[in-house]
Structure 1
Amino acid sequence: MEFLGSIFEIGKNALEAIGKWVVYINSLDANMKNLKRKIEYLSCQEDDINTELSSAERSLKRRKQEVEVWLGEVKTVKGDVRTLQRLEEEVVGWKHVFSRARLGKLVMEKIQEVEELQVKGTFSNGLLIDALPTSGWSRPTMGSFGETTSERNMEKVWEYLMDDENGAFVSAQEVFGYLRQLKVLGAQFLNVQELASFVTSQQCQALENYRLKVGNNFEYINNSVGKEVHAISFDSKPFGIGVDSLVLPSNIEYFGITRCEDLISLSDILSLRDAGHLRICLLQYCNGIESIFSSSSFSEDCQIPLRIVEELRLLDLPRFRVLFDGVVPPHNISFNLKKLYFYRCSSVMNIFPDRLLQNFPNLEELTVSDCENVEDIIVEVEMRYQGHHQDDSNTITLRNLKSLRLGKLPILKNIYKGIMVCESLQDILVHSCPMLRRLPLSFHMNSGHASAPPGQHIRGDEEWWEYLQWDDPHTKTTLQPLFIPFHKI
């Protein structure tokens, strides 16, 4: 009887094992589709995190080590999923029944791994941390350089100043006294008055390059473009004496502003009118700002600020609504803007009125992500104001647009209701835009057939692609070879 009991137990275990393998086989197709869908969402999550981290190049923080680890794990798991997809194509039919069973088991395990990565990737405490500790370290004064500012030791002073781990609060007078011979300077000023005093001095005008910060927090900045000013407002309020008092060097090339609560419009900073070399501008974590240009932006002498800016990054601005607030630029005024990024600007409903696109002929990249109230990217608006030519055409031309990226826009309905002619467009990315049902693109006609620009590709959610509506039935046929689903990226 004991022997028979053992035989029965062995048989029972064998049946349970066989049952599991049968489940692996029968559920393989459904699980593989589920895995593809989950890896698509994980890729979207990865794209969003990379978008936010790219702003860290302009920000005052550094990425957490756990974020780096997570990105590495995502890269590995995406490679594993591609391998599983290839294996699925190879083990077709019952002659590969055991291989399909093993593959089914691997797919189920990989689904669990992807789900765990999705949870880990929420990073509820943020992606970035302070580069330096907030306490437990000393803050030397410029007086500590008193014995080393001779000509032979000037290089040592510069190395010390440009090391963000060795910050020092300075006054304008200390800079004047100790650093007369420098051509390159990195310094942090405690308030706007000290910055203004230095910027208007001969010493500042003689500098070849500089990185100037204002605010009472030492923050890590890992980029350098040459001539930079970073305004930081945390516990203190560097703009407390009035935003008009912020004085910037006339040859500034990069301007970043973080956590300024009382700034309503960027153009309120009057010294930007004289910033004729400004190329990059970053606004982030400013709860009060609503626009770039206000009604006071365009003076009677036609001095319009920010006309030559090439790159504008708008990040985490909860009240930001429009680029132009209560003002319309003359039709003969062109802005040099090439790259425009919106990220987590929850009050924005549209990016451009269509009639204003003529003022931005050089636009090359447009990215809009995590803006929950955006309904249109380009909106048709009836404008009756002096100096603008009106016509009935609903076709717009963006001659230099190369990249259009839209992500996590839950109520986005239209990129544009009319037709867009974008001869240079190469990169189109759309994800998590469930209400977007149309791509308003116009294409070249060759022998009566539409043809896309060479090298163009479209990335997006596969389900979104299948439900798109087309003005011309041949357009989807033309674009189908260019479409890359997320799970194949």
Structure 2
Amino acid sequence: MDNLLESVASLFPDLEEMTDTLQRKIELLKSRKDDVDEKLQNVACRSGIKRKREVEEWLDNVENIKKMFETVEQQVQQSSGFRHVFTRQALAEQLERMTREVTELLDQSHFPSGVFLEVDESIDQLLLTSQPNGQAFQQNLNDIWTSLMDVSVASIGIYGMGGVGKTTLAKCVHDKLFKESTFSGDVYWVTVSQEFKICNLQSVIARELKINFTCENDEGKRAAQLFQAFKKKERFVLILDDVWKQIDTCKIGIPSKMEGSKLVITSRSEEVFIRMRCQKIIKVNTLSEQEALNLFWKTLDSDERSSEVEGICKKMVKGCGGLPLALITLAGSMRGVNGIHEWRDASERLKESCMKEEDMEIEVLPILLYSYQRLRDKRLQRCFLYCSLYPEDHLISRDVLIGNFISEELMERRLSWQAEVDQGHAILNQLVRACLLESDSDGKLKMHDLIREMAIGITKDNPRYLVKAGLHLKELPEEQEWAEDLDKVSLMCNSIEKILPGTSPKCPTLSTLILRRNPLRLIPDCFFTHMCGLRTLDLSETKIESLPNSISDLEKLKALFLKSCDELESVPSLEKLKELRYLELSSARIEKVPQGMESLTNLKRLSLLGYRLKMIPTGTLRRLAHLQHLQLPDHLDVPIKEVETLKQLQVLTCRLNSVRDLNRLINSRRNFKTLYFYDITVGSRERDILRERSGRAKFLYFGEKGLMKSSLDTDKNMLPQNIEYLCFHSSGLSGCLLDEFPTLSSARDLKKCQIMMEDKLECIMRLEEEQKSRGVPFQSLERLDLTELRNLIGLFKWEAVVAPLPPGTFSCLQSLDIYECGKMKKVFPQSLVHNFHNLEELYVVDCAQMEEIIEDDKNEGADITLPRLKVFCLSNLPQVKSICKGKMICDSIQHIWLGGIKNIKEFPLYLPLLDDGQLSHPPSLRTIAMKINAKKWWESLEWPHHNAKNVLQHLVKFEFYGTYDVSSAQPHYF
């Protein structure tokens, strides 16, 4: 029998390959969505333009398909093995259907009247960094597109000087390919940069192709594996951006002139394409004078148009030589300039800057330098130059960058950590507005390579930096490069495994040394001997096993970063490091806190999230009176008596033993600074995968036995006033949630609440004739997840027949998920529907005694309206007989998922009438999905209008194995 099943299995499609293909397309779709989101946000911020409804629907559809894929991917993983061959066949059919849907979304063919293109065009007219829509640009775009569609052209080169817009043009092609079905979404973008190695480039391409190398260190075998992966694609486009020298595509594993393949390359040098024998070479020229002036005014975003100002602008624009980067950067630096005198002064300063730098390599650099000088604020200049310490084309997290600004003391000192973070965001926003930093859709930042080149040029003098980041170095720079007057050295993201014995750079003024993300294992003890001025040492993400004892003598050290040093087992004494403010030891293998840590009385930030740490000596935390940021692992008992004495504490990650300790912590904060962010576990946490520890949440998790109290405890349970996320998991929650935590009545910031496996909980709130609560419970709650609550009878428990719900309760709720709540018989009554007017998603799954979704408590059979409902899912509800008595009016409904509700005789969805009197489905409705075995039930449904079923039939999808069925879906953790 097993052999038979194996033979059958061999006949079915490769499910894993289909999943990978779909995942890649979804990643492409996500990239496109992120791009659209970013552009729309930029426009909305500047002009107040709102998104069109069709675009909102497209964005929602992208999110929905992503969620569906996550569920199917789990099912694929669970169906491995030949015994699941028939299940896998059903999954294969689902994957095919989803792939078609994703392709449709990429093509945007379902948008009426080309609405997406209209939005893009309106955006391009407003974006500060938009592509120059000049005649030459459009001609280049048309030439590239013609070549891509030409079967005889396999390779295209785009060249031009730095800052002329090569990458902008390539990105435009990249985005346009997503709309084109020719290449089925097999479009890959790889940034090469000036310094690259074959193995690194192979790794980047492999990530794009979603493959893992079977032979990690053999470039030849890796190339063969990449070649085979490309050959499996019928048609594909590979875009290599920012190529500086000839690349041997065969050594990389890129097919040469393979039918259906296209290689697009951007470079500053035409010579690169000649050597690589590109079949089509296109030069990107600078803008014409009028196009340059238009781009300048668009970026400046100013109504100041006096004739004299226009004359000055023309001179300034002429000096930019038609380079878009120079125009955008210069205009960005001039935003907010008012009055003719300031314009004249700016023009003179620019002229002087260009005269001084006339010997610079590229004409644009003096203009970029002038934009830097116009910052004037020393804080902005220091923070800008610090960004050059990162590798070329590196995406930098805002949070990480701001943390560095704080630890490096590049900004003004503020009294609180939150105030310093706000200052950091303000500085970054100013640098983005000045066009000296670029921001992507996720908020991450990067420097254009020319702007980085300008910044590094500045730091060759004062301040003096040595920057060799991301250059694949295997050894430290030569001794002569370690000048005595160096201020900062960045060697991050290299391949340095060891520092040779006897190495001891003479850098007495060096303040910052960054060696993070190197496979570094050993540092000789003499290495730090002549670095007596060192203030910041970053060894994060290295393979260091032990630190040299000489670190103990760096008495001016203020920041020591050892994050994710997962081989680090020992740290020398820190007793003499009295100036230390920041100590990061997360994910290290240390079992004991470093010796002398109690002496670090100036410490502001301490992170000890190490899974092997055994204890924190009594009295240690009490002595760290200036702590603002404290992170401790969940497996350690926190000494609450010490934590509650920390007056300056503003960020806290830890586990507390009991709700009594939580009450003590909350009470102590009333006399000190408020906790801006916290991630606190009460009780034990068995599933640490619930959420990432970002350090930015206001999150409280009650785990197993978290609500247990002794017989002597009489205090009521307390919650922080500013709590945002709340989770209960087998904590012992009983009776009524609001009775257990009365302060929820005034929790105005609570956004998400999840309650899981609480066997004693009966309801969320009790309704009485005279409400005891003076506040409005759950007034800001956006998401409520209820999972495996065996005794939950409902959201509400009535103590009086006509008890009202306080106005505003649940008024912000967008998502309500109810899973495996076996005693619930209704979700909420018709009389309270108006409280749920913002509900967008309603999931009711595996509730054995559910009888009616919306109870007709008034016995009127009146219609109900849920004006924002988009997703409606009912699954495995064997006792349910009715959704609601009247019609359910949901004009915004997009997806309906049904399964296991065979006792429902009538589906109450309201169908509107068109102007011609014809019946229509709700305008936003996309799918009505159910299992294939529900087909007979669907056919038997009664409809108030004889044509209703025909109107809806084209939206109905019957699935074999739950693409839309969420009966096996897991709760949404946050």
TM-score range (shorter-chain normalised) is 0.5 to 0.7
Of the three residues 267, 271, 275, the one matched with 2:747 is 275
Tell me the TM-score normalised to structure 2 length.
Answer: 0.34
Partners of 2:722 and 2:748 within 8 A in 1: yes
Moved more, 292-301 or 335-344: 292-301
Partners of 1:414 and 1:436 within 8 A in 2: yes
1:168 aligns to 2:636 (yes or no): yes
Distance across 2 between alignment mates of 1:459 and 1:167:
45
Matches within 5 A, 1:17-416: 69-70=77-78, 77-81=89-93, 146-147=597-598, 151=602, 154-157=605-608, 167-177=635-645, 181-202=648-669, 205-216=673-684, 219-220=687-688, 221-223=690-692, 226-234=697-705, 237-238=708-709, 245-261=716-732, 263-268=734-739, 269-295=741-767, 299=771, 302-327=774-799, 328-330=803-805, 332-336=807-811, 337-382=813-858, 392=860, 394-416=862-884
Partners of 1:364 and 1:400 within 8 A in 2: yes
| Structure 2 residue aligned with 1:448 | 917
Change (3 A) 1:393 1:262: closer
Distance across 1 between alignment mates of 2:844 and 2:951:
26
Shift of 1:313: 1.0
Distance across 2 between alignment mates of 1:193 and 1:184:
20
Shift of 1:213: 1.1
Partners of 2:926 and 2:955 within 8 A in 1: yes
Shift of 1:241: 6.1
- Determine which structure has more spread, i.e. the larger CA radius of gyration: 2
Change (3 A) 1:148 1:253: farther
Of the three residues 892, 895, 901, the one matched with 1:424 is 892
Change (3 A) 1:67 1:441: closer
Count of aligned pairs between the two proteins:
369
Letter in 2 for 1:483: V
Structure number with the higher strand fraction is: 1
Partners of 1:244 and 1:270 within 8 A in 2: no
Distance across 2 between alignment mates of 1:410 and 1:325:
23
Moved more, 402-411 or 446-455: 446-455
Distance across 2 between alignment mates of 1:445 and 1:477:
14
Task: Spell out, residue by residue over 1:443-473, the C-alpha distance to the aligned partner (whole angstroms, 9 max, x if none).
Answer: 2211111222234211113423222222212
Partners of 2:894 and 2:927 within 8 A in 1: yes
Partners of 2:769 and 2:804 within 8 A in 1: no
Tell me the TM-score normalised to structure 1 length.
Answer: 0.66
Shift of 1:271: 1.9
Task: Spell out, residue by residue over 1:331-375, the C-alpha distance to the aligned partner (whole angstroms, 9 max, x if none).
Answer: 754522221111111111111111111222111111111100111
1:477 aligns to 2:946 (yes or no): no
Shift of 1:146: 4.2
Distance across 2 between alignment mates of 1:167 and 1:329:
44
Secondary structure of the structure 1 residue equivalent to 2:952: helix
Partners of 1:428 and 1:457 within 8 A in 2: yes
Distance across 1 between alignment mates of 2:863 and 2:679:
44
Q: List runs of 5+ in structure 1 lacking aligned partners.
A: 1-19, 25-53, 58-62, 86-137, 384-391
Shift of 1:191: 1.2
Shift of 1:187: 0.9
Distance across 2 between alignment mates of 1:193 and 1:182:
20
State percent identity of aligned pairs: 26
Shift of 1:382: 2.9
Secondary structure of the structure 2 residue equivalent to 1:381: coil
Distance across 1 between alignment mates of 2:903 and 2:750:
38
Change (3 A) 1:264 1:82: closer
CA-atom RMSD in angstroms: 3.9
Partners of 1:257 and 1:282 within 8 A in 2: yes
Change (3 A) 1:149 1:457: farther
Task: Spell out, residue by residue over 1:247-298, the C-alpha distance to the aligned partner (whole angstroms, 9 max, x if none).
Answer: 1100000111122445200111112123111111111111111111114696
Task: Spell out, residue by residue over 1:273-331, the C-alpha distance to the aligned partner (whole angstroms, 9 max, x if none).
Answer: 23111111111111111111114696456323222211111111111002111253347
Secondary structure of the structure 1 residue equivalent to 2:919: strand
Partners of 1:265 and 1:294 within 8 A in 2: yes
| Structure 1 residue aligned with 2:903 | 435
Task: Spell out, residue by residue over 1:17-36, the C-alpha distance to the aligned partner (whole angstroms, 9 max, x if none).
Answer: xxx9xxx9xxxxxxxxxxxx
Shift of 1:141: 9.3
Change (3 A) 1:431 1:143: farther
Secondary structure of the structure 2 residue equivalent to 1:188: strand
Change (3 A) 1:458 1:72: farther
Secondary structure of the structure 2 residue equivalent to 1:362: coil
Distance across 2 between alignment mates of 1:372 and 1:423:
30
Of the three residues 926, 931, 938, the one matched with 1:461 is 931
Change (3 A) 1:142 1:352: farther
Q: List runs of 5+ in structure 2 lacking aligned partners.
A: 9-66, 98-588, 612-629, 964-974
Distance across 1 between alignment mates of 2:78 and 2:946:
42
